[in-house]
Structure 1
Amino acid sequence: MNAMKDEHKQEIARLRKENAELQLVKSQLQTMKIEHRQKMHEFDMQKQDLERKVRRERLDTLMEDFIVELWVPESDYKLGEKCEKCDDNRRFHYKTPMGRDNSETCGCAVKIPYYKPELYTVYSFGTKDDGKKLRPWYRKKYRDQDYYESDSSYAADAIYNGETFEEFRVKSANEYRAFFKDKDDCQAYCEWLAERRKEEMNGHDKG
Structure 2
Amino acid sequence: MLRRLLLLIALAAALPAAALAAPTKTAVFAGGCFWCMENDMRGIPGVVKVESGYTGGHVKNPTYRDVTSERSGHYEAVRVTYDPQKLPYAFLLQRYWKLVDPTDDEGQFCDRGPSYRPAVFVDAEQRPAAERSRAEAAKRLKTGVMKAQILPLQTFWPAEAYHRDYAKNNSVEYHIYRTGCGRDRRLAQVWGR
TM-score range, shorter chain: under 0.3
Greater relative CO, 1 or 2 (CA 8 Å, sep 6+): 2
TM-score by length of 2: 0.26
Q: Which protein shows a greater Rg?
A: 1
TM-score by length of 1: 0.25
